[in-house]
Amino acid sequence: MKNSLVAIAAFSAASLVLLVPSAHAAITLPKGSWPVCASATDAYCIESVTLTPEGGKPSTLSYGASGTAASNPDVTSGKALAGRWGSADWSAATLGAAGYDGLFVDAHQANDYVPWVYVDVQPTLGSALAVQSANKNYAANLDKNIAIGIKLHLGTIKTGVTFGVGQDVTTVIADSSGLGSILIDGYPTTVPVAGSSKDCKGNTGKAMALVNQFQSVIVPQNDPLGFGLDTAAGNLYVGSNGTCSLSTPVWNPDTKHFRYTSSAPALSPDGSKTNKGFYHAVISFADAKAYWGLAKPQDAAQALAVSIITSAGGSTAAIASVSAKNNFITIDTTNFDFPDAQLDIALNPTYNGTSAGPDATATSAAAKATGNSAAAKANQKIKANVSNTTTITCVKGKSTTKVSGVKPICPKGYTKK
């Protein structure tokens, strides 16, 4: 079965921003898939998996071969499994509408070169993976209306950032007697899956399939190949529905810019539509203070400047929102065009509610007067790029699409109206 996180195998130290002092000891992860936790003190294991239908009650799954095979003409069985997460009450709990009857949750080291944890969730049918009947190379669609919750024991890992594929995802980081844990909870999202890396580039690349997926990558803070500041809490999540070149966010300590990039093929499998993307970021108040020195993180809507940066043929975000409640800042940017778009979060140069500290950028009176700070220059450049964008209408038969950018061009097969 094709793994949609095509960049996982290509992860390397070159893709990281090394913010952790080299004095940190290296983390050694176990080889292979993590087992189910046998006790509260086990390290590197899966403690629990829950499913919560939208508006319904959560169901805690058990590990084994339990469950009654569902019936759906669009879903069939693929590779056999040794075990999966299921429930004898799968149908009664309204979990079986999508045609699968359990989940295979695979947590393991992302690759041999970095101590990152890759978590993949795939649907199962009977004792095998559930795959699309029309194309067995691809997993069956996860139900987008059912939230998936996964709790992992992380051993000595201190989480720096979590990123991945999913909608409305949140993370809860905890530590008990030196044993770290993380709860990842959110909804699957539709991913334009690329057949090869060339499909991820330019405005003519087509997705091989559209598949509902849920995946995460956990990056430690306490490792030379990690991410984050020592003062950060690690409750930082960034997600998208673009899986091409998926990698860790980048933090620039000089300009206080936080950037995250992922991409996807520009067009749908039949080439008739432009694939749309989103970014979802959740930042704890503690992390907002550590990274930007925000004395009042609840002022995030005024304190942070959020931008989507695209290539000349791409669009800016149609919708962007910033909210702050329950000690978390949530940033959503939606409806921009793939293939490549970059989320940029920076301190608004006109905001003066920062606190002084070793990692905080306090906007000085001189910087306010001249607007010559590095952060101000970066924001001005972004605003200039956005202000220079134009929108054109492209048609192909009865299909119509709008393209925005600095120099917008119509996708292949479309003509400018």
Could you say which of 117, 143, 169 is where a domain stops? Answer: 143
Q: What is the pTM of this model?
A: 0.79
Q: How many domains does the chain have?
A: 2
Specify whether 13 is located in the same domain as 60: no
Specify whether 110 is located in the same domain as 233: no
Specify whether 223 is located in the same domain as 326: yes
Q: What is the pLDDT of residues 3-26, one digit of tens each?
A: 444 343 333 333 333 343 334 558
Specify whether 138 is located in the same domain as 164: no
Specify whether 101 is located in the same domain as 192: no
363 by DSSP, 3-state: which? coil
Quick check: is 413 in a domain? no
Under the banding of pLDDT at 50, 70 and 90, the label for residue 372 is very low
Under the banding of pLDDT at 50, 70 and 90, the label for residue 43 is very high
For 248, left (φ over 0), alpha (ψ -120 to 50), or beta? Answer: beta
Q: Containing domain of residue 91, as a range?
A: 51-143
Mean pLDDT, the chain, integer: 81
Count other Cβ atoms within 10 Å, centred on residue 48: 17
Quick check: is 133 in a domain? yes
Distance between CA 330 and CA 237 in Å, rounded?
A: 10
Specify whether 119 is located in the same domain as 205: no
Quick check: is 102 in a domain? yes
Quick check: is 34 in a domain? no
- The pLDDT assigned to 67 comes to 61
- The pLDDT assigned to 134 comes to 85
Count other Cβ atoms within 10 Å, centred on residue 134: 9
- The pLDDT assigned to 160 comes to 94
Are 225 and 245 in contact by the 8 Å Cβ rule? The answer is no
- Evaluated on CA atoms 74, 77, 78, 81, the torsion sign reads positive
Residue 59 pLDDT > 80:
yes
List, in order, residues 6 or more apart from 225 with CB less than 8 Å away. Answer: 13, 16, 18, 26, 113, 114, 115
Q: What is the pLDDT of residues 71-100, one digit of tens each?
A: 677 888 888 888 999 988 787 666 777 889
**Once rounded to an integer, what is the mean pLDDT over residues 328-334?**
94
Mean pLDDT is lowest, of 36-40, 178-182, 247-251, for: 247-251
- The pLDDT assigned to 288 comes to 94
Residue 220 pLDDT > 60:
yes
Residue 357 pLDDT > 60:
no
Specify whether 172 is located in the same domain as 100: no
Quick check: is 397 in a domain? no
